[in-house]
Structure 1
Amino acid sequence: MSIQWFPGHMASARKQAAKTMALVDVVVEVVDARIPAASSNPMIHELRRERQRPCLKVLNKTDIADPTVTAQWLTHFQQEKGVTAVALSCNKQSDVARIPALAQKLAPHRDDNIKPLRLMIMGIPNVGKSTLMNAMVKRKVAQVGDQPAVTKSEQRIDISPRLTVYDTPGLLWPKIKYPLDGFMLAACHAVGTNAVMEEEVAAALGDMLLARYPATLEKRYGLDASNMDGVAIVEAVGKRRGCRKKGGELDLEKAALILLTDFRSGILGRISLETPDTRQAMMDAQVEVPATDTADENIDDQA
């Protein structure tokens, strides 16, 4: 299965973002610390390069990501030109309070009431942009929800005479290049449910967890993970949790949601699905979505 999701409102949001980029000094790109590269939108990189804007890359949800892997990603991103990376939780006010000063270092010429620092918060759906915005403003100005694409329009907030912030809708890109990226995005709930089959996403997640955190699976669900694959993991979770339909048939959809929810909520523990090394290995293998796949097949104007 190839996962693609580019609702109609994202196309218009991309056009608006290109216009707003001309007005800002620093792009604050929020990514999911569990999948920092897979959750980094290449369209944002393109827009930044066109306008030559520096980037403060915020690795959010570090409280449920593997800390050792997060440290590797920080080192990796700090090597990119014009990028400063920071790992934090947008739910912690003390973490969010660090952002203006970090961004200021990327635009030292914007530091007074005449030339206020102008930030643009960007990222894919459901990575915590609205949570970050609300924490920076210290009041609810952006809708927050555990669903992709809650924010559908751009807004500007003047936090102080010296700081202006633009909040933008979550943006995916028209074609997800690598199939594994699609599964990682879906597992982290960055893709609309209309674009995925939960059982397939959970099975893919099971394979990733078996490769990196088999002991976590064994401890949580009381199973022996040896000689299992992702499908077997979903089936085992269903059996352990009594997921049965009428007549006794195993309810794989319910089992899949249990595994996905346990991962998304952090109940499984601090887990990262990719490292800089595994990312490079995937890219070297060049396993891409076939050219016959098109983004138009999954555009949903009602999303």
Structure 2
Amino acid sequence: MDIQIQWFPGHMAKAKRQVQEALKLVDVAIELLDARIPISSGNPMIDKILGNKPRLIVLNKSDLADTTTTKLWQKQLNKSNVKAVAVDTLKGEGLKEIPKAAAELTAELMAKLAAKGRRPRAIRCMVLGIPNVGKSSFINRLVGRKATKTGDLPGVTKGQQWIKIGGSLELLDTPGILWPKFEDPEVGFRLAVTGAIKEQVFDIYEVSSKLLKWLVENNPDIIKNRYKLDTIDFEIPLMIKEIGAKRGMLVSGGVVDELKVAHLILKEFREGTLGRYTLDLPKELSNILNSCT
């Protein structure tokens, strides 16, 4: 399945320049990823842009991902200058870990500043992430009521502002948009089912059918129970019709509205009604699964 996303090199180059300029002003780059698809929701360009800059990876929407797999992802992602934290921005879970992780990443820098006689200051951060990964919700939750705008600073583009969070962090509010350019259709599929791509640019029935097939292969009982199916039929078109009939999703003549069923499956997957899943697997788990096949 091939999902096409408009990808503009000119826009990408502009976003890249904005990020590079802002990076000179910050101590830590906070990269938001979808915990269900930590690979697919990332942008390989960010690795090149950040270089050795301390990075705090936020695995957002962790309430929708498999808990055990998220912990494996954290273990795999953690390095000397990289920390990974699982967060649910809707409920605010995991957000208290952000200042702690930022402090660990900048401990050496702050020690050097102190040795030079500099007064302690807040850790300066910026947030990166592809569209629809929850960046705005994360910033709003992190900022909360304790935030105070500290005004424009030298070197900051007009419209960008430092927002002080409590007394420990300052966030550079820079709306940079970075889309990944992907060749693998599986990446497109995973971005589509998790809601990162607008539904206007892909075939909803096709994506939903592939998702239903994956769910039947990985967790057939929840599909059978949720949609009150008598049996699990691996003929996906027939299953979609049966789900529609059971739910009364009919048009004139008693025909099943298959597109409405497709929307339902996508909606319930995204909301976590069909269970918690991680579609991108860390190496440790991939190796185990590969050895079993």
| TM-score range normalised by the length of the shorter chain | 0.7 to 0.9
CA contact (8 A) 2:30 2:127 kept: yes
Mapped partners of 2:285, 2:187: distance in 1:
10
1:263-297 Cα offsets, whole Å, 9 max, x none, are: 1111222222232259958xx9xxxxxxxxxxxxx
CA contact (8 A) 2:224 2:232 kept: no
Distance 1:101 1:236, change over 3 A: same
Q: Which amino acid aligns with 2:162?
A: I
1:117-136 Cα offsets, whole Å, 9 max, x none, are: 11111112222211111112
Q: CA RMSD, aligned part only?
A: 3.0
User: Within 5 A, what are the aligned runs for 1:17-56?
Assistant: 17-49=19-51, 52-56=52-56
CA contact (8 A) 1:25 1:117 kept: yes
Q: Which residue of 2 aligns with 1:247?
A: 253
Q: Which residue of 2 aligns with 1:265?
A: 271
Q: Which amino acid aligns with 1:89?
A: D
SS across alignment from 2:256? coil
- The Cα of 1:76 is off from its aligned counterpart by 1.9
Q: Which residue of 1 aligns with 2:155?
A: none
CA contact (8 A) 2:59 2:84 kept: yes
User: Within 5 A, what are the aligned runs for 1:213-252?
Assistant: 213-223=219-229, 226-252=232-258
CA contact (8 A) 1:187 1:260 kept: yes
Distance 1:104 1:196, change over 3 A: same
Q: Which residue of 2 aligns with 1:297?
A: none
Q: Which residue of 1 aligns with 2:62?
A: 62
Q: Which residue of 1 aligns with 2:179?
A: 172
1:109-155 Cα offsets, whole Å, 9 max, x none, are: 248766531111111222221111111211499xxxxxxxxxxx984
Q: Which amino acid aligns with 1:20?
A: A
CA contact (8 A) 2:19 2:176 kept: no
Question: What TM-score do you get using the length of structure 1 for normalisation?
Answer: 0.77
Q: Is residue 76 from structure 1 mapped to residue 76 from structure 2 by the alignment?
A: yes
User: Within 5 A, what are the aligned runs for 1:134-153?
Assistant: 134-139=140-145
SS across alignment from 1:95? coil
Mapped partners of 2:4, 2:31: distance in 1:
21
Percent sequence identity is: 34
Q: Which residue of 1 aligns with 2:164?
A: 159
Q: Which moved more, 1:190-199 or 1:179-188?
A: 190-199
Mapped partners of 2:264, 2:172: distance in 1:
36
Q: Which moved more, 1:225-234 or 1:192-201?
A: 225-234
Q: Is residue 184 from structure 1 mapped to residue 186 from structure 2 by the alignment?
A: no
CA contact (8 A) 1:57 1:86 kept: yes
SS across alignment from 1:125? coil
Pick one of 271, 280, 285 that aligns with 1:274. Answer: 280
Distance 1:223 1:278, change over 3 A: farther
Show structure 1 runs of 5+ residues with no match: 142-152, 285-303
Mapped partners of 1:3, 1:252: distance in 2:
20
1:141-173 Cα offsets, whole Å, 9 max, x none, are: 9xxxxxxxxxxx984332156532134344322
Mapped partners of 2:240, 2:272: distance in 1:
18
CA contact (8 A) 1:134 1:140 kept: no
